[in-house]
A and B are shown apart, each in its own frame.
Chain A
């Protein structure tokens, strides 16, 4: 599909003005013009939030992104010219609106403004309205290292997963995440999940939000952390539910759903693919049909993945096919499928016979539905043969077997995903034919520099920041469900 045209009842639109462009340095599949023409900021509501989010910046002080780094960011963004989407709420409250994403720069940052609307008619179950929501992502033009002397929590020493198991067994839901892998602070500031930083003993990273933006995608829609909040699946991945129950899509198969701000919980490269004008190349159905987790994890890669977003420390996010080595001509000679190094290890592994927490003795845990956790399965009925309060899904994901990693259908809990998954260090990240294993942050040093990868398994997007992020990483404007004055629709039956 080459050109998009506008139509009222469909998400696809063909007929946008063509813009030709080339990769600025070969490292970014840019796509948009590199002529540094400033966009018309009146056409994107996101700019109205610029000075609220970043009081040290004014729109008058920004200019077109002309530096190689800024141009690469601007060039990677989706071209929405002429596109109107039905089923979304415009800034004036009317039905139907145009998504927007625009970039301007100063000396240090790219500012990517958006109204956070998807480029197709929303497909997630209508719990919330998908509404024009202004936001600006602040992306460093040059990633800067984080001060490694910064005090940090420990990835391996996190507390709270035993508490998570205790509550999962009894179906209690805490008001805030019980663990400290990610950053969350209550609205009144009286409680939080520890420090902003976390370490594996070798490197200090910045935590991502427990449920909030981690990157700006090329659509302008923010990528969100691999957890929901307390409900519906306590601090768990919404992918499991959506994948198991496609007739009540909590998140659609492009990875998007509405909330205080519409966001992506995972990346679907086909949905984010651009044509030669930079416009969306595929409709929702094409993208959704391609979202088959096992297929997205096969070792073979036909072509390099494009940039799909930008994390708040300035590193790009790509799809799963990354180039690890280039020859003198720039041709890729080692194209690999990037795999997360996190495996599903089970929430029940936190059972402890000496724990004083209720319901965490191994006998009690195995007597609950967690007794079938990690069992091989063909359907959810295998995991919950007796029905009732059984919160397991049969889901394809990465697990360990005999010391190696494999994709397998297992009975898994959607809840407390940071606790049910475990990072497995690989002696050589290229050890397995065709794969490259990612680091703690779901990133890797490629032939073109460090990139984060959108993976089909946990953590789906960047799970920490390798370098120092901008303020957007901790901005909490839209991380609470009651934020933004959004319209909430009645949950369907």
Chain B
């Protein structure tokens, strides 16, 4: 026997060879699989044959010539079956037989654990690790239904006693499990609005925080990365929540629930110590930085009243349900996923070089008629004029290494399954830095059930420990605060240059920092089914995030000549903890009614008990830098301790009725309590109603519009309560002040209390249309929602004569948010070797203030009929060609270069800062072993431009500006958009007006190649030789290319003083044994 590589031609030579020994030869030479029920081979004859390069089909005919067998080819599988007999006059349907079969995927790989069911019966089985199944007692005319997560469902009529099924990748996912509040459903039967993102999609993104991977994928969910610094925060808004808080960083975020535990998704109680703390630098951080995206199985985003009502108070601003990977039955499998790469600085605005800077500085003095002074070191000869340092390059120009290793081992039987998972991540810093951020995690998941399946228990635990030694400084904020010919920040040996007696830009680099954050997430779900129709379940979740931040400010951050350096050394340790216990017991009753009906009733409750605490020790004045590690060793030691409890609880009842798989109605009711409100006002009642009609099931459609494979009309409406106000605003409290006054501690009351505070009311309605065409190859969904928010919890402005800027109250204002969300999935090409699918979604949110609050509000930005996310601005009228100053048009219509006299009433231009629309355009191409994905995200919005963000107009010694200053006004008659350069004091108020004018805002719309993922999966045959179940290698990139006209700033984080989202390039491998 000889083989000559993979082709569709076969060379064979042998005498009296049994058929079962020829099949491997065919497989080896052609790459085709031969599938055959070996029982058939009992009665076959031996084969003698000698051929060279015979076409495969001929070869098959030849060897089967005298056998009672025939073959068929399905894709790359040759199926050998019994020769069809002449049809018998009537099939005896009572005859029972055994059917075996094999289920493979697109690439011919076995599909493990696929569900095999016989249509219309309750019998069924699952495929084993080779994708093979056996069904006994199958009637002859039966239809076998094969389904598996991620694949299209397939129905195969039984003919003969073997089945060969190849499953196509699922396109529409209509019947995939969708995780909703306290349970699951399918996209098909869900009357609410839920978007699910799977692990597979998340895995394409080399990111540390899963929010980054979610960006753009979920219509209605706007995600903004605030800082590119690892460990930083994200602003998340669902449907631009109808809330008065227009500042996205403080607006209520959607509730995040991880495995049933309410999770601190937003800010953590990091050190608030204003001059030294990390809170500002990481913008508060994000709890999800401490959950490895690789551990996530799926994310469901609940949007409408129907979906969110069950989370009551906490769900008023949307709900994000995160489910971690869980144990599954199956053979023991070991998986390793490893990637490594680099990240580099994203888009930043360009600053002037020395030559440009000096030219403009001289122009300043000429314009102002001032002489060069002793302070003007940049131009008075103190600093050489040919020296140039690109401070951004020096401080932010590094390449940061990033590495991620994930190992998992899992398997189990039907009764007990297990999954163990470990991961290591390390992320460097693009800043000139010591230190990095890294974490390691361990998790397990264990499922066990009694033999009768009545009692089952699922346990999971996840522990992650993260260490960051990156000094918490964002150098971006100070890049422009030095003359480009100022002395170098570092000496050639890398140490700080103290030539001028100070080093404001880089001195901080010698600070010491260590932050250890641990995240423990545990969940147990106990299920008891006393009767077939009744399920009792209790979910108990526990989450504990603890942090220990250390910061030290040694003498080396100050010039060696600075005599007070020792007295100013200080260090602090901040310990914090956020602990959440969530208990949710519920009962579920399921019953078939009147033949075609299905009733599902759920009732239960939820207790959420949260405790945040932090204690901080701060020492000043150390005898030695070596003692900084213990802040208690300082000359002056202060400490703070805070502890804030929050509790909420709720009862809920849900009734869902499905008639004939066509008509669905869902009723939710809920009673909520929260400690954010005072006595007698703690509880509120809320509820929703939803209905759906799957009209494609109707006979008329099936007959007259068969191209429509799926059509659903759904609608929901409901009232949800919100409690987005700071804790204990209803009670006036006294708390201690820092320090003592001659030995006596002081108390002060910090806020005005409002005992009348009560629940916000959000009335949310939505209608949606879902359509599938051509067997769901094209699937589209459009939703229109309208949320009306009233009784809003706001901070009502007060005249400061009252002692306060405002106080918490329920406003009688009414805000209406509405919007369209449209998505389209299309499988453009689907052949045996290539699949190309495209997904597009777009969200178009609008908001309107329907009724102004009765109480006057300082924010004159509230205009009836306009969005609350907007602001009122002075009308910028360009640069006055005569004077070179900014000019504005006031309320009277006068255009002048005002430097005083403009009032709030002169702000006549309204600018909405919320995104006008945003979305995502995603393509996946699978070609043989290759798959290539690329994703564009796009957002249309306005943002503050670089000039508008600059605190200082150009002119002062040591303050550089963007290259747009080269376009400045120079002489009478110049028409330009940049004013004349001047250090005159009047420029300050002019620039202040400018910052509050339309001129300070530019179009920050952008399209971004957010992600590219190229994956090569090794061929099945090669894997078999390597004794590996699966192996793929991949290249991934994040934030690769940004197209915008936003003057060099990053259009996502919109802030020149913060590190923008990084560009990341990685390469990795994923192997399964």
The answer to whether A binds B is no
B residues engaging A (CB < 8 A)?
Answer: none
A residues engaging B (CB < 8 A)?
Answer: none
